[in-house]
């Protein structure tokens, strides 16, 4: 497991859960993604408009992308995160993420809104 500020590369032998930190969202720290060892190697990367020092044009608390390529997951999370300027943009974000070739799944948290699509298994943290 290699983690760098919300960007994770995984090549694991046992299934794990990855907690989602989404800043001040009431969902922050309460949800996790289950990753099966058989799915790896893969990347799960997160972008946020409210957490951290990186520039984002969006307001999502967390946009997580799952891909076999960690670099693609990082770029897609940034792209989708920039789209989320209000809660009503979440559906547009899901559609954009799943239209990117190589994206396996997406999770978006903005405030008390949670959206998930594709190959993402949610767990309680």
Q: Could you report the per-residue pLDDT of 104-114, keeping only the tens digit for each?
A: 999 999 999 99
pLDDT averaged over every residue in the chain: 95
Query: What are all long-range contacts of 8-13, with beta carbons under 8 Å and residues at least 24 apart?
Result: 8/43, 8/44, 8/45, 8/70, 9/41, 9/42, 9/43, 9/70, 10/35, 10/40, 10/41, 10/42, 10/43, 10/44, 11/40, 11/41, 12/37, 12/40, 13/37
- Quote the pLDDT of residue 59: 93
Q: What are 24-71's pLDDT values in tens digits?
A: 999 999 999 999 999 999 999 999 988 887 778 899 999 999 999 999
For residue 3, pLDDT over 90 is answered with: yes
């Amino acid at each position: 497991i290699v983690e760098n500020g919300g960007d994770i590369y995984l090549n694991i032998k046992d299934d794990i859960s990855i907690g989602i930190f989404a800043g001040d969202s009431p969902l922050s720290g309460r949800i996790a993604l289950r990753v099966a060892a058989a799915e790896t190697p893969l990347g799960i990367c997160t972008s946020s408009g409210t957490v951290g020092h990186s520039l984002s044009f969006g307001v999502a608390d967390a946009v997580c992308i799952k891909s076999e390529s960690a670099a693609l997951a990082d770029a897609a999370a940034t792209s989708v995160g920039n789209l989320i300027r209000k809660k009503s943009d979440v559906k547009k974000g899901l559609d954009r993420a799943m239209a990117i070739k190589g994206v396996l799944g997406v999770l978006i948290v903005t405030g008390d809104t949670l959206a998930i699509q594709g190959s993402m298994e949610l767990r309680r943290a």
